[in-house]
């Protein structure tokens, strides 16, 4: 248990108390109001997995309020280095030397020696990292997809190898936290570990992943968090609003998400794509 005290402390720090509601609203407004140049389509070879949807209990909110997740498709693994290289080749405005700083900070593709070179020794099939939410969003656009929502991602993440919802298994969170503590795992290629119940790979053992609405839990008025004051959303006190206090791994994810802005890039933060199905409109 002692290792979790340090882990939770790290998550508390990520819930930065210096943030304000005004800063969050400005960040969301920037996400919605500014778009880069027209994106050229590319083709990638990745299997998508059908997720039938259902109801799940979000990590934050009232412990009796379930959220409906409609059926959707999700990539079976994260976007890779070689796929993102194809994206920047087809879309020069997303190359590291010219990308606008409103869309990506100075660490964007930090280890790439040049615009069209992967890092020395990098595995082309390892997940791409140091990409912003904007870059992830427009990559998804280029392949005719989108980023998964937070609820969609967490719905898939509930599964272990045997069951669609393993959150009540004591070993489930412990196993994920142990994976999170492994250094440099983002350098490994995708699909080298077993898939979960849905047939989805690498939800935890390679990279953190962007979601489309990664900062939605920070916005007052969200149906899952609007009943709490802003201080609880931005500071360590948010832990008291958790519906599953034993799920340390989920708390770490939410801690990271609330520390991010859309133009940030992180060394072990990547993404995968999702897509609607015809059943979404039923």
* Domain boundaries defined on the chain: 2-35+46-281
**Residue 93 to residue 148: CA distance in whole angstroms:** 24
Q: 24 — phi, psi (to 5°)? A: -65, -45
* pLDDT at 14 (0 to 100): 40
80 - beta bridge partners? 127
Q: Cα separation of 271 and 152, whole Å?
A: 13
Q: What is the pLDDT of residue 180?
A: 83
What distance, in Å, lies between the first and last C-alpha atoms of the chain?
45
pLDDT at 35: 59
Residue of 123, 85, 82 whose CA lies nearest to 206? 123
Q: Compute the distance between CA of residue 258 and CA of residue 15 in angstroms, rounded to an integer.
A: 6
Residue numbers of the chain with a pLDDT score lower than 50: 1-2, 4-34, 218-243, 245
Distance of alpha carbon 64 from alpha carbon 76, whole angstroms: 31
Alpha helix ranges (H) inside 108-221: 133-142, 150-157, 170-180
Structure tokens given for 184? 């440099």
Q: Are 270 and 127 in contact (CB under 8 A)?
A: yes
Distance CA 64, CA 57 (A): 8
CATH (residue range 2-35+46-281): 3.90.1580
CA nearest 115: which of 134, 99, 102? 99
Instruction: Give pLDDT tens digits for 14-24.
Output: 433 334 333 44
């Amino acid at each position: 248990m002692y290792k979790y005290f340090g882990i939770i402390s790290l998550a508390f720090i990520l819930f930065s108390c210096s943030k304000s509601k005004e800063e969050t609203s400005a960040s969301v407004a920037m996400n919605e109001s500014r778009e880069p140049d027209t994106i050229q389509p590319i083709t990638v070879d990745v299997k998508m997995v059908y997720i039938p949807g259902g109801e799940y209990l979000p990590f934050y909110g009232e412990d009796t309020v379930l959220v409906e997740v409609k059926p959707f498709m999700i990539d079976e693994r994260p976007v890779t280095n070689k796929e993102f290289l194809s994206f920047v080749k087809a879309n020069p405005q997303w190359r590291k030397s010219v990308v606008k700083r409103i869309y990506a900070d100075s660490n964007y593709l930090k280890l790439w020696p040049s615009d069209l070179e992967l890092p020395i020794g990098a595995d082309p099939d390892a997940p791409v990292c140091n990409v912003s939410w904007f870059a992830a969003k427009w990559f998804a656009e280029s392949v005719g997809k989108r980023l998964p929502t937070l609820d969609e991602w967490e719905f898939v993440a509930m599964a272990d190898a045997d069951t669609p919802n393993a959150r009540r298994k004591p070993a489930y969170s412990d196993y994920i936290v142990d994976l999170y503590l492994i250094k440099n795992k983002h350098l490994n290629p995708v699909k080298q570990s077993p898939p979960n119940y849905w047939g989805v790979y690498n939800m935890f053992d390679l990279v953190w992943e962007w979601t489309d609405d990664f900062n939605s839990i920070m916005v007052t008025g969200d149906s899952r968090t609007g009943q709490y004051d802003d201080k609880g959303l931005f500071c360590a006190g948010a832990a008291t609003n958790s519906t599953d206090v034993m799920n340390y791994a989920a708390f770490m994810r939410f801690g990271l998400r609330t520390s991010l802005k859309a133009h940030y890039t992180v060394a072990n933060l990547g993404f995968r794509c999702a897509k609607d199905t015809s059943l979404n409109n039923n």
